[in-house]
Each structure stands twice: as structure tokens, then as C-alpha cells.
Amino acid sequence: MLQVLIALGAGVSAAAATTGVDDITAEAAQGPTVVVTARRDDYAVDALRSATRTQTAVRDTPQAVTAVTEAQIEDRNFRSVADVMRAVPGATAAQGEGHRDQVVLRGNNSTADFFVDGLRDDAQYYRPLYNLERIEVLRGPNAMSFGRGGGGGVVNRVTKQPQGEAFGAVAASADTFRAWSIDGDANLPLSDQVAARLNAVHERFRNHRDVFDGRVYAVNPTVRAAMGAGSIGLSYEYVDDSRVVDRGVPSRDGHPLRGYRDTFFGVEGVNRLGLEAHLVRATGEYRPSDAVGVVSRALYAHYDKFYRNVFAQTAVGGAAAAPTLGVQAYYDGLKRENLLSQTDLTWRTATGAARHLVLVGVEIGRQQTRSQRLNGFFDGVAGATMGGRQVTLPLSDPFTAPAPVFRRGAGDRLTTTEADFVAALLQDQVTIGPVEILAGIRYDRFRLRSVSLYTGDRFTRVDEMWSPRAGLVVHPIAPVSLYVSYSRSFLPQSGDQFTSLDLTAAALEPEAFENVEAGAKWAPRPGLLLAASVYRLDRTNTRAAGPNPGEVVLTGAQRSRGIELEASGRLLPTLTLSAALALQEAEIRRTTSAAPAGRDVPLVPKRQVSLWGRWDATPKLGLGLGLEHRSRQFTSISNAVALPGYARVDAALFYRLTDRLEAQVNVENLFGARYFPTAHSDNNITTGAPLNARFTLRAGL
């Protein structure tokens, strides 16, 4: 009994890829839950619920969606969210100042558009991958399903859930930089109705960079129980992360500084990150009949984080024989508590030839944040300027900088913010023969109160926004979907981390994102999906300087346009493929306070290619080969520094030693390309790793 109920709570048959809403109804008739998981050996996902908040076939979802499964994560040796972005067209990873996940989706940069099992997970930290079935990247505005933000898209992590049979696995790996990790996954049925699962990881960090090291511990126990027509689940995750904060190298003459690939431009022992995160998730599902279902989710999260940075603030300058650069420093601390609730009611009905899947949803949440910023001062150091906040030092390898003193000064902050939001949404998925219509509207009321504990200033902003979405899907033949869609999102002027609410921002309307998209999806066989999309995404209400000194107005705008192609899944019985191509551009359309019209948006290469294939030459031996290419991209909105285009080749070998033991070797940057994959600013530029290898053993228990 448990095996059937839990399978319905965590999986769906491959048949769910055939007719969208009709299959949702068929699946619902078998049990109370509709969550999907991918098979371990697949790169393709047939159906998911995050895009529409109902179980919908991927090819019947009228927007671009990429699901990177556990199988692909393991085969390609992805170690971070940034790695996963390499497999997604229209997505790049920003540097995140060396202390957080940060993504650029269709030209829109975000540190907060992250979700776990559909619930907001917006603090700034590195999210480990040890407990995931897959990562979903939904591109285009997604406020209808996810609320504020999500202007360029969202990243949703789908966690592993308890299953109805006992199994376990352990993996250990080490690389040529002396980094290593060990992780485990154990699933145990406790009774006919209850199952538990435990995932855990311990990883030590090292790479090609001087000084860099660190470690992370994470554990995630989950319990799920089936009870008659419903089920409940409870999950707790703990993450403890400590590592060096590394912001890469500065620029010189409009290019990344060369010859200093491994040089650390910080201070050993000062540049540190510390994080503890606790996430408790609860899910309840109830289906009193085949036509009606209720899903309720709740999340409590507590994040406690600090980081200290000494970093290059200026480009390398000075005399050719004695080059110099300017260095600054700061300390940042954050504590955040999130309490979020999400409840969806679904109703399946028909009006004549039209079949409806109606969704009514309600969300309530509160987020409380305490944020502190202290500048670093180089008191008494020769070459210090700006009241001691910046020091000019000679360029050298190794680079030597004095340790700063962190104390209050101009530009510092100590604030508390409280964000409360209530949202309601209504959506209808209509099927009329080979045509499917998706229409929805969401109302959000978002209130933010901010208090400066230094000055006593208090600011409050209330935004009430409507976020519509509409999509049309047509099936000219059964395995092919053609679609068009429109969606809209908003982002309050306080920013995605609530740190920029001031007298000016409190008077300004939210930024708006509008996306028009058309595409095609083709599932020539189960387990293989081909997709293409073309889009135009406009961002408006960005800040710009007004006609009077100190005045700020909402006249800025940017536009992203592009074509995205991808293929994922089993091309042949022995060949699994993941391919992504993006041709894109993003530019400032109207002058903002940061840049005039005509400049390119940073970290948006005009060409982006990712290819990966795994060929199982024999039942025991597998080979993998991949190519990553990106054209030139700018490091910031100044367009003063550009990262050169590059191509990188990776390879892998897989060998099954026994029925329960597999060995794997991944070789990264096979031909030793010298490249710069990303940046945070003109003078915080990440350097690509040289040729290296990682060795992994996986054992099934």
C-alpha cells in the first residue's frame, strides 16, 4: 500500500507526457498526490508542477522550462547551482561576490529568485545539491506562480522524497586540487503507511586559487505518511557552510588581468564566510474525490550569516614598471526568518467539450531581516585614501594587503526589515480537443517596513500588484506542442534583499517585467524532449536621475530578446544527450541612473552553447564528452571591461565494477583553455580552472 501511495506522492508515469490536463485527471483518480520525480538514469523530465502549480506535462507548459536531473548532475559532476546554469540556455551564473548563489536569467540578475519545492528560499547563500531530484529553471516572468521577483525566471530545487522500498547509496569523491566529498542517501519504510529518507553530505573545498579552502555540512531527514485519501510530509534541512570569500582578479586596460590566474587579492584569515541555515518544510495533501484536491505547504527558515571581504576596488593602474591597484574591505552580517504558507485547491470539471482544471490559491508570509554593513578601514597604512577606506598597493604575486579594521563609518547600515505579504490567485487550464488554454491572474499585497537602528529613520511601502498570465498550446500532431504566452511580474523598489528602501524608494512604484514568448516542443519518444522558444522581455520602472539634483524618477528600461534551443533525454538506447543553445541580447533601452541607453546588460553573452553526451559503450563502460562555449560578455553596466569568449571541453569515464559499485572520472577543461567565466564587477573577475580531474566511487546499499 505504501509503495503505491508514496509513488503517487513522488512520481508520475511516463504517460503523463501525452495529453497534459487529461492525464492530470487520470493520475488524480489513482490517489491523493501529484508530485513528480525523474528516473535516476534519465536527463529528461516528463511533467512538473512548479510552472502551473498543477501537475502538467513539460511539453504542454507554455513557457521555456529546463529540468536538470540528478542523473545529469552526477554525470557532469556539477557541484553547485552555478555549475547547473551551464546546462540551461539563456542562463548564466554571476560571481555573487564569492559568498552566494546569483543568476542572470534572460538578462535579469537576481540573488533571491530561488525556491525549494515551490516555496521561497531567498537568503543569500550557496545551496548544496546533495538532496535533489532535480533543479528546475523556469524562464520568463513567473509572478503568477511564485510571487514578486522572478522577472527573468526562477530556480526551483525539487528535493528527494521518501519512497516505498528500502534502499541506500553512498558516494565519495576527490579531485586533483585535493577537494573531496562524501554523501549518503538512505530510504527506509517504517510501516505500510510511513516512510523516511535521510540525505547528508560533508564536502571540503579547494581549487586552483591560492588560499581558497572551506567546508560544508548538510543533512536533510524527511518523513512522509499516507493516510486514507491524503498524505502528510515533514522535512528538516540543516546547512553549515564556512569558506574563503574570493572575488577573483581585477582588470587592466579593459580586460581581465592576465598572468595572475591563481593570485588571491584578499587577506588570508579575513576573507571568510560563515552560514548556518535551518529549513523546516511541511506538506499536506487531501483528495476527497477524483474532482477535488487540496495541497497545503508551509516553510519556516532561519538563516544566520556573515562574510568579510578584502577585494580589488580599482583596475590595475600606475606606471608600467610599478603597477598598483586600490583595495577596499567590508563586513556584512544577516539574520533572516521566513514563515511562509501556500494552499492550493484544484477542481476538475467540464463545460460541454471543454475540460477545466481550475486552481484557486492563497499565500501568506512574513520575512524578518536584520542586516548590518561595516566598512573596513586601513588606519595608519601608507597610501590610504577616502578617510582610510581605500588603500593603494603595488601589484605583486603573491599579493599582500594589510588587514583592515571593521568599524562604523559613512555608508554603513544596521537595519531591521519586516516584509508581510498576502496573495490570492485564480487559474484555469482548459482542454478543447488538441487545444489547451492557460489563463490566470494573481493579486499580491506586499508591505515592507524598514528601521535604521543607527539613525532611527523609518520607512514603509505598500504595493498592491496584479500579475496576469496567459498561454495557448496547440497540438498539430500528438507529440508536438506549439505555444504562445504572455506573463508579467513585479519587483518592489526595495530590491530582492530589502536593503535599498529609503525615502526615495518608498515613493516609487515597483519595477515591472513583461514577457511575450512563442515556442515549440516535441517529444518524439518517451524520455526525449526537444524545445525551441523565441521571446521578448521588457523591464520598466527602473530608476533614473531626475531633472533636478537628487531627484529620482522611473524612466529607465531594458529589453532582452533571444532564441533558445534545447534537447534532453535518451537519443538512442546507449546515448543520452543534453544540449542547449541561446542567441540573445539585452540592452538598456532608456537611460537609467546607472547607464545611458544603448549599453549592453552585463553577463549576457550573445552566443551560449552547452553540449553533453553520455555513450554507454558496453553494459559496464560509459564515456562522456561535453563542450561549453560563450561569446564575449561585459562585466558590468559600465561596458568598460569585457570577458573574452571561450570554449571548454570536458570528458568523463564511467565503469561499473559490480552490480552495486560504479567508478567515475570527470576531466574538466581537457585542453587547458584559459578563460574567465563570470564576474561581479569590473574588478572582481572569476578565473577559470586549468585542467583537473575528479574521481568518484558510488555504491548502492
The pLDDT of residue 27 is above 70: no
Interacting residues of 320 by C-beta distance below 8 A, sequence separation 6+: none
Closest alpha carbon to 19 in 448, 387, 429: 429
492 φ/ψ angles, rounded to the nearest 5 degrees = -60, 155
Instruction: Return the number of other C-beta atoms located less than 10 Å from residue 575's C-beta.
Output: 11
**Residue 95, Cα to own-chain centre: how many angstroms?**
13
Q: How far is CA 82 from CA 126, 128, 192, 330, 396, in A?
A: 9, 11, 40, 24, 30
**Rounded to an integer, what is the distance from CA 409 to the centroid of its chain?**
34
Residue 10 has what pLDDT?
35
DSSP state of 127: P
Grid coordinates representing 589 are 533601452
Cα–Cα distance, 138 to 88 (Å, whole number): 10
Three-class secondary structure of residue 468 per DSSP: strand
pLDDT value, residue 596: 84
Average pLDDT over residues 572-583: 96
Taking the C-alpha atoms of residue 599 and residue 595, their distance in angstroms, rounded to an integer, is 7
Give the pLDDT confidence score for residue 409 in this predicted structure: 83
**How many CB atoms within 10 Å of residue 561?**
16
For 185, the grid coordinates are: 542517501
The whole-number average pLDDT for the span 563-567 is 98
Residues 6 or more apart whose CB falls under 8 angstroms from that of 255 comprise 641, 642, 644
Instruction: Output the pLDDT for position 495.
Output: 78
Please determine, for residue 554, whether its predicted confidence score (pLDDT) is greater than 70: no
Average pLDDT score over residue span 371-397 = 94
pLDDT recorded at residue 497: 82
Q: Please give the Cα distance from 161 to 3 (Å, whole number).
A: 12
Average pLDDT on 532-544 reads 89
- Over residues 528-545, the mean pLDDT reads 88
> Which of 189, 176, 178, 129 lies closest to 155, judged by CA?
129
Q: pTM (2 decimals)?
A: 0.92
pLDDT band at 43 (very low <50, low <70, confident <90, very high): very high
Q: What pLDDT is attached to residue 4?
A: 34
Say whether pLDDT at 37 is over 80: no
Are 165 and 187 within 8 A, CB to CB? yes
Above 90 in pLDDT, residue 529? yes
Nearest to 12 by CA among 70, 58, 51, 43: 58
Chain segment 82-136, per-residue pLDDT in tens: 999 999 999 999 999 999 999 999 999 999 999 999 999 999 999 999 999 999 9
Band (504; pLDDT cuts 50, 70, 90): low
Question: Mean pLDDT, to the nearest integer, of 14-36?
Answer: 37
Label residues 4-14 b or e (16+ Cβ within 10 Å = b): ebbbbbbbbbe
pLDDT score for 507: 67
Quote the CA–CA distance of 144 and 51 in Å, as a whole number: 9
Question: Over 80: is that where the pLDDT of 471 sits?
Answer: yes
- Position 150 scores a pLDDT of 87
pLDDT of residue 553: 52
Q: Is the pLDDT of residue 16 over 90?
A: no
Give mean pLDDT, residues 424-453. 96
Other Cβ atoms less than 10 A from the Cβ of 262: the count is 16
Residue with cell 530582492: 496
Task: Return d(Cα 23, Cα 45) in angstroms, integer.
Answer: 15
Average pLDDT over residues 375-381: 93
SS3 category, 85: helix
CB–CB of 175/498 below 8 Å?
Answer: no
List the helix and strand counts (H, then E) for the chain.
5, 42
Mean pLDDT, the chain, whole residue set: 91
Per-residue confidence band for 396, with pLDDT thresholds at 50, 70 and 90: very high
Cell of 48: 512538473
DSSP 276-345: EEEEEEEEEEE-SSSSEEEEEEEEEEEEEEEEEEEEE-S--EEETTEEEEEEEEEEEEEEEEEEEEEEEE
Does position 318 have pLDDT exceeding 60, yes or no? yes
pLDDT at residue 634 is higher than 60: yes
CB 493, CB 505: distance < 8 Å? yes
Please state the rounded mean pLDDT for residues 151-160.
96
Residue 207 grid coordinates: 581549487
* Residue 590, pLDDT score: 84
Of 583, 692, 586, the C-alpha closest to 629 is: 583
pLDDT at 41: 58
The full 3-state SS of 230-245, as one line of letters, equals: EEEEEEEEEEEEEEEC
Q: How far apart are CA 97 and CA 331, in angstroms?
A: 12
pLDDT over 90 percentage in the chain: 84
The conformation of residue 9, written as its DSSP 8-state character, comes to H
Query: For 243-279, what is each residue's pLDDT tens digit?
Result: 999 999 999 999 999 999 999 999 999 999 999 999 9
pLDDT of residue 556: 81
485 within 8 A of 517, measured Cβ to Cβ = yes
667-696 pLDDT, tens digit per residue, is: 999 999 999 999 999 999 999 999 999 999
**Residue range 403-415, pLDDT digits in tens:** 999 998 877 999 9
Gyration radius (Cα) of the chain, Å:
25
* C-alpha closest to that of 56 among 486, 483, 579, 514: 483
CA distances from 197 to 164, 414, 647 (A): 10, 40, 40
Mean pLDDT over 493-516 rounds to 80
Averaged pLDDT for residues 174-179: 98
**Residues 358, 346 contacting (CB under 8 angstroms):** yes
pLDDT at 25 over 50: no
Task: Summarize pLDDT for 345-360 with one digit per residue, the tens.
Answer: 999 999 999 999 999 9
User: Is the pLDDT reported for residue 11 higher than 50?
Assistant: no
Distance separating alpha carbons of residues 395 and 322, to the nearest angstrom: 8
Across residues 647-655, what is the average pLDDT?
98
Residue 532 contacts residue 563 (beta carbons within 8 Å): yes
pLDDT of 18 over the 60 cut: no
Write down the pLDDT at residue 40: 46
